[in-house]
Chain A
Amino acid sequence: MNSKTSISGIPQDSPVFIIDGARTPQLKAGGPPGPFRASDLAVSAARSLLLRMPFDASALDEVIFGCVSSGPDEANIARVISLRLGCGDKVPAFSVQRNCASGMQALDSAAKDIASGRADLILAGGTEAMSHHPVILNNAMVAWLAAWNQARNLPTRIRTLGKLKASHFKPVIAILRGLTDPVVGLSMGQTAEQLAEDFNISRENMDQYAVRSHQRLAEAMENGYLDEVTPLYDKDGNVYTTDNGVRPDSSMEKLARLKPVFDRPVGKVTAGNSAQITDGAACLLLASASAVEKHQLPVLGRIADSQWAGLEPARMGLGPVYAMAPVLMRQQLDSSDIDYWEINEAFAAQVLACMHAWQDQDFCMQSLGLPQAFSSIPEDNLNIDGGGISLGHPVGASGARIVLHLLKVLERKQAKRGMASLCIGGGQGGAMLVERIES
């Protein structure tokens, strides 16, 4: 039999359609926890998406959400989201976690279920409230508290109290630990510094890239290109309609003033040329051909192929190259066949490194085992409305956001094929090939 396996694209006879999608504005996380928890963000985006659909929320077969770190009241956050959306008791839901690509993993899991015929209609996406990532008691403190609870009488209590040290009060900041590789101990920024050295990327290149990201997002906002954004309303009556990390007045001079954060004092990666830390959620509605027929759904596009890849954690930023290459090889495509690209901007250095590696003969032959390099990815077709540097990277959400926006770009440009990809902390890459369907 000549049927393709699960990693080799989605069979032509059971296509996976993307109907529509919505996302929240991405809100800068700074200081105190933001007004929305991860499930709040996802519910806001998803309920306005479902409102546009002709079917009832209970018609969904599954709800899948990616989230790196949900809150203590959000265990299996997809189920929390599903119930809060009014999908009803009978719609099952599960959550997925593949670090920075969790949102894309949700789409991939949904696509697999639809392609295999297990489901017809799935709500999938990603959400992350980075500002709510917890501050945790350290283990010494937890051990001390356990001892304190065991201490039944006054003498033992006094003795236990005596053992309490100042170091017990040093908290664990979960978000910082999460952004540090748990195996090799490098922070994500340090892996970007590594790539800058490998591919000889200058501070100027990075800052230029960052300025352009802000300019592109600002222009997209002005032109109303972000119609997938649905406003957020907090309980105090504040309304959030746009990504608030954008700096239209960003410039080389301003960025040049920033000090390196990760490899002090000589590094090149700064807060200005890295992704911002923001809160946000994005979700998409995926459907089989029969669901499209049954509910008379408009179709935005389809998922044509996807790929996950692993590489050394210290160079995790090159993940997209490792994941995109097999997709193009399998589909017998070259860069020129891809109309638009979304490569998540974790770091300017990392996106630039991917572009270098992609067209580097030695790299493609040695590291990817390809006969030759790909033709270059045109800057004008990559992240054309900005990316993580200008609108932030809520880790669980970005994977879904870039796929959704890519489809919106294809629609706007009347183009056919798009590639979305992310690098993943821990040394992985994910890629998803989508095609617009002319309706």
Chain B
Amino acid sequence: MNKHFHVRYDEQQLAWLYFDAADTTTNVLTEEALEEFDQQLLGIAQARPKGLVILSAKKSGFIAGADVKAFATIHSPEAAKKLILRAHDIFHRLEALPFPSVALIHGFCLGGGLELALACRYRVASTDPATRLGFPEVRLGIFPGFGGSVRSIQLLGHLPAMQMMLSAHSLSAKAAKRIHLVDYAVPQRQLKNTARKLIEEQPPRHRPGLLQRIPGNFVLRPAVARILAKQVAKRVRQSHYPAPYALITHWRQNAGNTAQMYASEAQQVSSLLTGETAQNLIRVFLLQDRLKGLAEKSSFQAKQVHVIGGGIMGGDIAAWCILRGLKVTLQDRAPEYLGHAIARAHSLFRKKLRDHYLVQDAMDRLLPDHLGEGVGKADLVIEAIFEDIDAKQTLYEKVEPQMKETALLATNTSSIPLEKLAEKLQHPPRLIGLHFFNPVAKMPLVEIVTQEDNPPQLIADATRFTKAIGKLPLPVKSRPGFLVNRVLMPYLLEAVTLLQEGISAADIDEAAIRFGMPMGPVELADTVGLDICLSVAEKLSETLHNEVPENLRNKVEAGHLGKKSGQGFFTWSKGKAQKEAASALEDKLNHYADRMILRLINESMACLREAIVEDADLLDAGIIFGTGFAPFRGGPMHYADKIGKTEILSKLGKLEYTYGSRFTPDPGWEDHFAK
């Protein structure tokens, strides 16, 4: 016992219960931890202190939530329900203690962690920017199941609690105080004093006002539920993400009765948890962990980064590294080419950091460096100039001798084989690819593009760096298009071919969105820029056995480049595509989706066969985080496995018969399904 929790009694007869999960840096409510917590509560109750304070012994935060890893191993609703009811039981015991209890929150307090805090009589949060409170459950396809859907409503009132659970947005301490989620938001240094004061004074618990209680009235509830559902529908479809809709139904049916609420919560969450959507979303969550885990083989730590190329990519990579605490020198041919990047960085810092002092600090760490004086001081040099082999080779020749011996040299090329770029280096195996996606601040994935000769330590170091700046690293081989562009391009080209056949852009986009893509392919092509699409398509046409559709070429020749020129396949106005409503029938939409998605899946198989990535799971991770591919479907290979060999091959066969060789099933399928 006492693996995860330690209790200390002080001279004022307060019990201080520290959560310090064994063998990890993050507090997670595993089943084992929960059981120990229960034991501890028993002991503390017998000791009859004046009050109980629950706090974390970890630097990282209070409690990150329940054990998502274990969720993936729960396959029957009965097992899920058993776990949930046990947690209900333990938190009820905490709630019923005869003396006051306080949760001291510094750092994250999410999901199950927040539910534990809600079972305490009082909550105090630190105003540190690291403190975040929230219910991320709907992102995993469930809703709060450790009593959170009941206690949050009791404390905050119906609408604030529902908003919190439906949006999955986390709150700062001050925002949490505003809605009475915490009793006090104080500087970290005053947390313990505030807990002592609360236990001393024992103020009455906060109760929501009349206005917050009204929407729960049984007469109004159905109407309120409809409004909530309408709001959710603006973001996600019920067929893709059932959890928020289930939460609304759970509330509408039971909000008047606490006992019913607890029972329904256990029922609903356990069936959601074992459903396909949640299991796929949990899979995606764990894939994210796997990508992060790839960084463990290195202890490389960059303090200063030199980025060459002040364009959108170079500038945004530099700004992102700054946000992650690094010092960056940013180089381009002349000062004039750097101003734009500095302005973009400033507006990103304002948006992300808000605080004037933090923005100033960020700006001070970003050094415009047109003379390239930072090269020799950098731990990592990232080249992000225009895609031209000669220009890049010449640049490396100049930069390499100035670099520290231990420094990494990386390119952000999206299309040129690294072996080619490395030709003129003194040590060609030194070059590695760090392929960021646009927009850098939003896209979580970075492809670590490797040459055959890269030393394993270099790959490990580049992976480590990527994780350190908060991105998901995915090692891929240096083949045309690497992984993400190679798989995405057939999907986009099929959309362009559909357009050429006279199908409306709105229908094509709707077909893809119905499948679960975050943005339609036509809008995506316009957003990326049709000139860029064309150039990538041309470079990949040999690999993909796909001729570049004429209409794409015509658009570019006419200067219709998409969002940036105001006209592409759509007309753009104020940054929005002018779309009419989709009008095709469901059958048609399904057919369009099949054509686009099956090309994507077939190309995924080709990449797997060519070992561009190590395995199918990593491929799925890459496509989900690199393209936004419907996360609730678990990734293209997972989806293919789900629908099965027969259907994949028969659908591809039919499409091949009608549309030709671009649909020829990849030779890898036989082997893949044989495994």
Partners in one complex: yes
Q: Does B368 contact A (CB under 8 A)?
A: yes
Q: Contacting B343 at CB < 8 Å: which of A43, A231, A236?
A: A236
Judge whether A233 and B365 touch: CB under 8 Å: no
Does A271 make an interface contact (CB < 8 A)?
A: no
Query: What per-residue 1/0 map shows which CB atoms of A220-246 lie under 8 Å from chain B?
Result: 000000000001011111110100000
Q: Which residues of B contact A51 (CB under 8 A)?
A: 329, 367, 369, 373-374, 377
Q: Are A233 and B342 in contact (CB under 8 A)?
A: yes
Flag if A52 contacts B368 (CB, 8 Å).
Answer: no
Contact call A48/B367, Cβ cutoff below 8 A: yes
Tell me the minimal C-beta distance from B311 to chain A in angstroms.
13
Contact at B364–A238, with CB atoms within 8 Å?
no
Would you call B343 and A235 a contact (CB within 8 A)? yes
B363, CB-defined interface residue at 8 Å: yes
B364 touches A47 (CB 8 A): yes
Tell me how far the C-beta of B427 lies from the nearest C-beta in chain A, rounded to whole angstroms. Answer: 23
Bound form: Cα–Cα A236–B361 in Å: 17
- Compute how far the CA of A48 lies from the CA of B365 in the bound complex, rounded to whole angstroms: 11
8 Å CB contacts to A: which residues of B316-337? 327, 329, 335-336
Interface size of A as a range: 10 to 19
In angstroms, Cα B361 to Cα A233, docked, is: 15
* Contact indicator per residue, chain A 43-66, by CB within 8 Å of chain B (1) or not (0): 100011001100000000000000
B367 and A237 contacting across the interface, CB-CB below 8 Å? no
What is the minimal beta-carbon distance from A241 to any residue of chain B, in angstroms?
5
- Docked Cα-Cα span, A321 to B345, in Å, equals 49
Query: How far is it, in angstroms, between the C-alpha of A233 and the C-alpha of B338 when the chains are bound?
Result: 8
Does A84 sit at the interface, judged by CB under 8 A? yes
* Contacting pair B373 A48 (CB below 8 A): yes
| Of A52, A84, A236, A239, the contact of B338 (CB 8 Å cutoff) | A239
Please measure, in the bound complex, the distance between the C-alpha atom of A241 and the C-alpha atom of B336, giving whole angstroms: 9
The answer to whether B368 touches A231 (Cβ under 8 A) is yes
Chain A residue contacts of B339, Cβ below 8 A:
233, 237-239
Q: A233-B335, A237-B342 are in contact. Are A85 and B373 (CB under 8 A)?
A: no
A378 adjacent to chain B (CB < 8 Å): no
Interface SS, B side: helix
Interface size on B, as a range, is 20 to 34
Which residues from 62 to 89 on chain A have a C-beta closer than 8 Å to any C-beta of chain B?
84-86
Nearest opposing residue in chain A for B364, CB measure = A84
Given contacts A51-B329, A51-B374, A237-B342, contact A85 B364 (CB under 8 A): yes
Q: Considering only CB atoms, which chain A residue lies closest to B340 in the complex?
A: A237
Q: Are A52 and B373 interface neighbours, CB within 8 A?
A: yes
B346 close to A (CB within 8 Å)? yes
Q: B336, B339, B365: which has the most chain A beta carbons within 10 Å?
A: B339
- Contact of B327 with A84 in the complex, beta carbons under 8 Å: no
CA distance A238 to B365 in the complex (A): 18
Known contacts A48-B369, A51-B373; A241 and B343 CB within 8 A of each other = no
CB-nearest residue of chain A to B363: A235
A48→B338 CA distance, assembly (Å): 15
Of all chain A residues, the one with the shortest Cβ separation from B370 is: A231
Residues B367 and A241 in contact, CB atoms below 8 Å apart: no
Min C-beta distance of B123 to chain A, whole Å: 34
CB of B2 within 8 A of chain A?
A: no
B327 touches A86 (CB 8 A): yes
Q: Which of A221-277 contact B (CB under 8 A)?
A: 231, 233-239, 241
Chain A residues proximal to chain B, CB less than 8 Å: 43, 47-48, 51-52, 84-86, 231, 233-239, 241
Q: List 8 A-B contacts (CB under 8 A).
A: A47-B367, A231-B335, A233-B339, A235-B363, A237-B340, A237-B343, A239-B335, A241-B336
For the complex of A and B, list the 4 residue pairs with the smallest distance between their C-beta atoms, beginning with the closest.
A237-B343, A237-B339, A231-B335, A235-B346
List 17 extra interface pairs beyond A84-B364, A86-B364, CB under 8 A: A48-B373, A51-B377, A52-B373, A84-B361, A86-B365, A231-B370, A233-B335, A233-B338, A233-B342, A233-B368, A235-B342, A235-B346, A237-B342, A237-B344, A238-B339, A241-B335, A241-B336
